[in-house]
Structure 1
Amino acid sequence: MPKPTKGPRLGGGPAHERLLLANLAGALFIHKSIKTTETKAKRLRPLAERLITLGKRGDLHARRRALTVLRSNKEAAHVLFSEIAPLVAEREGGYTRITKIGNRKGDNAPMAVIELVLDPVTPKVKKAAKPAAKAEKTEDAPAEETVEETTADAPAEETTADAPVEETTAEDAPAEEKAE
């Protein structure tokens, strides 16, 4: 559980702040995106992420813990457990995104949009490590000889499989596309 903040709370005492953040979290789960002040969005993010983690667990105890925070907002809890949790099942964190949108007209308060990140996760492709160029230049000749020795020992069947394949030129490709 995060340590309570010191100093001024949002709109009053700690109880009022809990109620305000619970209402914001419920609205975020129902609408998937809300517009609020930057400070409220930054304070809402850890609470919403923790509730989404509970939603991913999905058991009865997690549902009851989420309902204590959401103050029996059953609609928001239902959306959290049935719609949001399956969409972020593969994601390991970072379920929310805060985007600053400028200042409010009336009191010039900095505004932000906090939204759920429901896009599917794309795994990162690891790049191959580049070998040191100087060390490779001095050892290129022996390395090539060992490669040639291993190919000479290969059976004849593998060499026939390496027959040249017809390559299409740039001129042939548009003609094939037009035919389709």
Structure 2
Amino acid sequence: MRRSASRSRARSGLLRVDQERLNTGVNRDLRATLKAAHRDKILRLWRDAELAESVLLQISDADREAVFVSSSGQARLNELFRRVQRRRIGCNAVRTVVQQRDCMKRLRGNGGSRSALRDEGIGIMGDYGSHRHIARLLISARVAPAVPGAGKPVVEMDGRFWSLASPEDPVHRAPALPSHSHSAASSDHVDGPRRR
């Protein structure tokens, strides 16, 4: 198996290995390598398969440095969500940035990034059914009140219509996200994406 986290690609194959098919030297990790003459005998399972994006490897050096400049795990996570928007940020990236126990607590409302960034207009959707419905459109992004007739996809949250903010849009406090503990029939119901 070979993978490239920076390219988000992987390849894998099977081969029954014996000493005849291996090079005589070993590398520093004491792993032997396959002789070039036997590489065509590998049964390819997949080639250039897509891996989950490694966000921390794919952001710019300047953004990565800005994220890690603070000694506070909460401040680092807030900066990550400011700088990386409209992309999925997985749990491993959150753990790496926070470097604390119960790192997911730093993400939630009630003092975490979700509440800290709301005044900056940034909504952070989680892996809850009510949030996934919104995230089909928004993921982690700055939002603005929807403008009728703009032709942008919109969602209804917190009693208003919202769409992705453009750089020119003024900053608005982000809407409260629907509760993940209520059923879709509750008052927290979110209407499906539509165009206005």
Common fold: TM-score over 0.5? no
* Range of TM-score over shorter length: under 0.3
Q: Which has the higher contact order (CA 8 A, sep 6+)?
A: 1
Q: Which has the higher strand share?
A: 2
TM-score normalised according to structure 2 size:
0.23
TM-score, normalised to structure 1, is 0.25
Structure with bigger gyration radius: 1
